Amino acid sequence: MVDRLVNSEANEKRISHVQACFGSSGQTLIAPGRVLVGEGVLTKLCRKRPKPRQFFLFNDLLVYGSVVMNKKKYSTQHILPLEDVRLKSVEDDGNLRNGWQIISATKSFTVYAATATEKSEWMAHINKCISDLLAKSGKKPATELSPVWVPDSEAPLCMLCKKSKFTALNRRHHCRKCGKVVCGPCSAKKFLLPQQSVKPQRVCNDCYEQLSSGQMSAQGKNPAEGKRQGNSLNYGPNDDSSGDESTDDDEDDAPVDMAPVEDEHPTFYEGNYK
């Protein structure tokens, strides 16, 4: 049981170790009642290509970062409160197998496990933590969700005007509301999306129209839901939100993308809790 781990020394040591691995670049992870449920490497679909990321599942948070040195040093920490997280399985597509979307209010993206078994383990553990957490707090699952970004490679043309062809000069932009890849003229405006950032965010002309006419809530449900099941990712509130997409939070972060991490199997500390 996770409950048994709460006050265990082993759990405390594990969390201190994770915190130490992120060093001063990370936040304090040690907290009363917090349990490290599992950890392992998942392949995260970033804007341009899939990249390995180390994930840590706590009973209340999902934390991930880039691997600088396996089990020793991680960088670029991201933290998603599990109360806001929702999972959605993704069908296998060519080399991209065993994937699922991690959807949250601030950031949504797709990850892939090495095997189908690992995928179901991860999903089961994460979902269990979410339901336990919601049961404890009495809160409702999150409905304000940020879109999963369509990867650049899936959009040779602007998805809105369907005319503008992307080149080195004609750059891609992502609508923060629907996640589509659009050209500059099709995303010239910004709109305040409070759950994503305190600053207005780039949105496509379609979303802008709907948002400003009140047909769509700035805090409401992900409009892309139901329309498509894209794979991509999104900025969180702490990321660059200037609208200049020369940086993608996951593109330029790690000093080096290491060769395949040796121990790729996830570890779940108490696999049998129910």
Residues binding Zn ion (CB under 5 A): 158, 160-161, 164, 175, 177-178, 183, 186, 204, 207
Q: How far is the CB of 173 from Zn ion (least distance, A)?
A: 9
Rounded-to-integer distance, Cα 15 and Cα 73, Å? 14
Quick one: 35 or 148, whose CB is closer to Zn ion?
148
Q: What is the CA radius of gyration of the chain?
A: 19
CA proximity to 64, closest of 107, 5, 105:
107
Q: Which residue has the tokens 């080195």?
A: 168
Quick one: 21 or 204, whose CB is closer to Zn ion?
204
The rounded Cα 238 to chain-centroid distance in angstroms is 13
Q: How far is the CB of 2 from Zn ion (least distance, A)?
A: 39
Q: How far is the CB of 221 from Zn ion (least distance, A)?
A: 14
Quick one: 86 or 177, whose CB is closer to Zn ion?
177
Quick one: 76 or 232, whose CB is closer to Zn ion?
232
Rounded-to-integer distance, Cα 256 and Cα 121, Å? 29
Phi, psi (degrees; rounded to nearest 5) at 124 = -65, -45
DSSP state of 187: G
Q: How far is the CB of 204 from Zn ion (least distance, A)?
A: 3
Q: How far is the CB of 89 from Zn ion (least distance, A)?
A: 24
- Give the contacts of 16 (CB within 8 A, at least 6 positions apart): 30
Quick one: 81 or 220, whose CB is closer to Zn ion?
220
